[in-house]
Amino acid sequence: MSGDLDDKPQPLIEHLIELRQRLLWAVGAFFVAFLVCFYFAKQLFNLLVLPFKWAVEWAGLSHRNVELIYTAPQEFFFTQIKVAMFGALVIAFPVIAQQIYKFVAPGLYKNERAAFLPFLIASPILFLIGAALVYFFFTPMVMWFFLAMEQGGGEGQVSIQLLPKVSEYLSLIMSLIFAFGLVFQLPVISSLLVRSGFIDSKALADKRKYAIVIAFVVAAVLTPPDPVSQIGLALPAILLYEISIYTARLIERQRARASEAQDAENEVVATPDKAD
């Protein structure tokens, strides 16, 4: 009896030990990436400022220098820490995702692992596509929109120029990247829900009108209060919702074909028995 009682806690302890090991690998990868990114924090921040430079050129202000300011002594230091954390998360994500998969995979069936792995690969790819869209198009568009509000000065006018703070500019571009990156996860989330049986393509199609309203509400909450970024986030969200419906239909067709093949195989196996 005592031996049985001693054996029961063992699987839980093994899981906790493995969880600790996976967490150490994930945290270690993030910490190493953070140190590297913090060393190059100024260079990384200069890369993030490039969309602002493009916006200045689009606005016809290429003759002036692109300037950002900080108004507190510690502001740029903490901004560099945020840049390093952001870069570390991007660099270390493959390792973190790998550790999550290795911890979860032993508890899944073979077909479940085969279904889970593509989503683990597709998720960061879709996030990077959303981030690239922000970096190369929407951030320059948003900054161009704000630059268009400048006032040159002259008779009866004061000179008003845009001089963004380093922390506020970083918050703007990071919020846009995270907003678009999360929205671009919509096909992955919907596909997982369809595979799990929580929803189907018909339900997604029926709720299309609600999804459009929610897309604009979410865009208004996650993006700055300007129409360019809000419409720019809402439209891809609606397009991704339509892609989610199409993906859900493909999954249902694959499931139906697999079910028909299984039924046909069962009939073939059962036929000799009937003949006997």
pLDDT per residue as tens digits for the range 89-107:
989 988 888 888 888 877 7
**Phi and psi for 185 in degrees, rounded to 5?**
-85, -5
Q: How far is residue 216's CA from residue 238's CA, in Å, rounded to a whole number?
A: 9
Q: Is 30 helix (H, G, I), strand (E, B) or coil?
A: helix
User: What pLDDT does residue 114 have?
Assistant: 67
**Residues in Cβ contact with 62 at an 8 Å cutoff, skipping those fewer than 6 apart:** 56
**Residue of 204, 203, 236 lying closest to 222 (CA atoms):** 236
- Is the predicted pLDDT of residue 117 greater than 80, yes or no? no
Write the CA distances from 43 to 46, 68, 246, integer angstroms.
5, 15, 41
pLDDT of residue 176: 87
DSSP code string of 43-62: HHHHHHHHHHHHHHHHTT-T
For the chain, the domains span 12-149+163-261
Q: How many Å apart are CA 141 and CA 134, to the nearest integer? A: 9
How far apart are alpha carbons 36 and 30 in whole angstroms?
10
Give the pLDDT score at 243: 87
Tokens of 172: 């703007």
Res. 9: pLDDT tops 50: no
For position 107, what pLDDT does the model report?
Answer: 73
Tell me the C-alpha distance between 247 and 192, whole Å: 10
Q: Is pLDDT of 137 > 60? A: yes
Q: Name the least confident of 15-24, 173-182, 194-203, 235-244.
A: 194-203
Give the percent of the chain with pLDDT over 90: 24
- 54: Cα within 13 Å, side-chain hemisphere: 15
Helix (H, G, I), strand (E, B) or coil at 207: coil
% of the chain at pLDDT higher than 70: 89
